[in-house]
Structure 1
Amino acid sequence: MAVKSNFSNDDFVSILSNYDLGDFEAAQPLTNGTVQTNFLLQTGSGKYVFRYYENRPLGSVLFESNLINYLTAKRYPCPAAFSNRDGEFVGLFAEKPYIIFEYVDGEHLETLSDDQKSQLIHHVAELHNITQTYEPSYQEHRWNYDVDLCRTLAQEAAAKQASRNARYKLAWFEAELSALDLPDTLPKGICHCDFHPSNVLFQNGVFKALLDFDDANYTFLSFDLASLMNPFVPGFDWNSWFHFRPDENVFDFTEAKSVAQAYMRHRPLTADEKTHLFDMFKLTVMFDCVWYFARGAAHDFFEKRKIDYLNQLGRSRFYHEIFD
């Protein structure tokens, strides 16, 4: 992640003095990503990753540390967190929380082979199987992805922009959210919610670890599945959507159907999850709209065009393309 806070060698000596991880030798900033500050620490006993949470309250980080401890106890492939001599997994430095993680060797792949995609999907389904009965503590300190959160974040984004375009976009946004059908009875658990290549480690072509649970939260399990799916043709993207006509067929379900089938080999979907996967996929698009709320004119922009195409297709056709 990008380094936003500076640490001296003396700072790391002081921090490590309360851990049984060996004496500090060196620190190297890790610069991939944009949110939290990370350093690779070298001590007398090995390598560790120091993560400093720039924009997360203590409760949110405690949610993550407890989740990581639960997953590693279940032998899930993710870096373990280390406790200090007081038995605490989350420390504070300059009033911000940090965790020291296990260093896992491997490489980040920008492009995955079909086999590597299947491995990732397998471990996403495994995460869901493991956490379907997990009762998270500090849940209220996380953004738990659902319709209510999506609406709240959009309202905040529109208020921040305070423009006519933002008001029009919010009106469209709230109408589309109201049309989603996502029953509370859909299975819930922990979703990772960020499968960027920098968060997935492979070694010699084999899945090694899922990293960075900074966005993980308690939500509908099918949210992660929907976020892995892309039912659009490869050429339809944020920088090319305007080349397509509003009435053009932009769908190619080949990959999306393959992802769903691979996932269901490890966690079969309930009948309700299948029925409402259309709405779940639309919810992932709406969250993308939140993250890029300032992008595009309200009458026609990338996420709106996606939703318009999906509305033209309909829930029934989406279901049959994926599951028949």
Structure 2
Amino acid sequence: MEDKIIADLKESYGITFNQITPVTGGLLNHECKVSTEKGELLVKQYSTKRFSSRQLKEIESALQRQIILEKSSVPCPFLWQCGDRVIRWLDDKTAYMVMDFRSGKTENPDTITITQMRSLGSTCAVMHKAFSQLLEPSVKNLPVFGGYTMDLLWENFNSRMTKCSPYAHVEYRKALLALEPILKQLSTDFFDKFPKGFAHEDFQPGNILFDVDRISAVVDFDRNCYSYIWHDIGRAILSFALEGNIMNVEKVCAFLEGYSQHSALTLTNIADALRLSWCIEIPWWIQPEFFGECDKIPKRFKDEMIWLTEHWFEIDSILCS
């Protein structure tokens, strides 16, 4: 941790500590767990190479929403503020934030239990209900990253086809060509049936901590924004219920049971949420660099998109079997 951050923690927050432990994760950002007389805290320094000042301003707005969610009993970390701001700017190159450290274990499709899956659904619904109480933005722009509209989907697909070399990885070409039949049968009003509002937008295993039988914390609200809220549902089902090439319907039903304790949801809705997740995430994960040798996490996301492509027309029957 930089000396100027250590000095500012004491001056601006009254925080002194006796131990600093680096925390892994977070692309280019630098995170440390610090032990203080006020408990364990997490200090996150944002990468100004990864984020522009405009992007960090958007993250500030997202974190302000997290503060409201934490007060509404959503299990997410308490954020420390200096004045009315969460992100502290020390100079043009140094921006950081402080929050309570939340312990817990990450799970995956092979380790998550039915009880934890039910808690995941319940927590997702509580989060969505808390988001729904927030004042919606005056200009309801959907994110520009990913395939959030038919125009963006087709634009991305046509661009990939144009750039695809005859020498590209054969599996990448196969995956790319398999998208077109689905895109052609999607109606122009496909997105109209999905509820809009604030969503977490990164509701995946790395951002969800569990204790023995329930969620202990949902973290990393940096990307929460006005979007399609069912994307969180589809992403959670893909991340925790898809075991290899098999969808574990018992886990899907456990999620549904938990969610339905707070908000209406059906298996048909979940099938649509999976298709929505395909539309949004295909531009992210069907990329040439994720075919062949690549890291485990993007490979998992890519494989999920391929599974959805192969099972697009039978998702409803799979979930209702």
CA distance in 1 between counterparts of 2:146 and 2:134 reads 17
Relative contact order, higher structure (CA 8 A, sep 6+): 2
SS across alignment from 1:135: coil
Q: Does 1:47 align with 2:37?
A: no
Q: Which runs of 5+ in 1 are unaligned?
A: 1-6, 237-249
CA distance in 2 between counterparts of 1:156 and 1:70 reads 41
SS across alignment from 2:192: coil
**Contact 1:116-1:207 within 8 A present in 2 as well:** yes
Aligned to 1:307: 309
CA distance in 1 between counterparts of 2:163 and 2:14 reads 47
CA distance in 2 between counterparts of 1:43 and 1:196 reads 30
CA distance in 1 between counterparts of 2:181 and 2:218 reads 36
By how many angstroms is 1:76 displaced?
Answer: 1.6
- When the two structures are superposed, what TM-score results if normalisation uses the length of structure 1? 0.72
User: Amino acid of the residue matched to residue 268 of structure 1?
Assistant: A
Aligned to 2:88: 91
User: Amino acid of the residue matched to residue 151 of structure 1?
Assistant: L
* Pairs aligned (count): 292
SS across alignment from 1:189: strand
CA RMSD of aligned residues (A): 3.9
SS across alignment from 2:31: strand
CA change 1:172–1:150 in 2 (3 A) is farther
**Contact 2:41-2:100 within 8 A present in 1 as well:** yes
Aligned to 1:147: 148
**Contact 2:142-2:148 within 8 A present in 1 as well:** no
- When the two structures are superposed, what TM-score results if normalisation uses the length of structure 2? 0.72
User: Amino acid of the residue matched to residue 260 of structure 1?
Assistant: L
CA offsets per residue over residues 134-184 of structure 1, 9 Å max, x none?
235698696576523963894698499663558997676466346445343
Report the identity percentage: 18
Aligned to 2:299: none
Q: Does 1:66 align with 2:36?
A: no
User: Amino acid of the residue matched to residue 132 of structure 1?
Assistant: S
CA change 1:74–1:227 in 2 (3 A) is same
SS across alignment from 2:12: coil
CA change 1:262–1:215 in 2 (3 A) is same
By how many angstroms is 1:320 displaced?
Answer: 5.5
By how many angstroms is 1:275 displaced?
Answer: 5.4
CA distance in 2 between counterparts of 1:35 and 1:20 reads 25
By how many angstroms is 1:307 displaced?
Answer: 1.3
Q: Which runs of 5+ in 2 are unaligned?
A: 293-301
CA distance in 2 between counterparts of 1:259 and 1:30 reads 30
Structure with greater proportional helix content: 2
CA distance in 2 between counterparts of 1:139 and 1:27 reads 41
SS across alignment from 2:89: strand
- From 281, 285, 289, give the equivalent of 1:291: 285
**Contact 1:144-1:218 within 8 A present in 2 as well:** no
**Contact 2:17-2:35 within 8 A present in 1 as well:** yes
Aligned to 1:107: 105
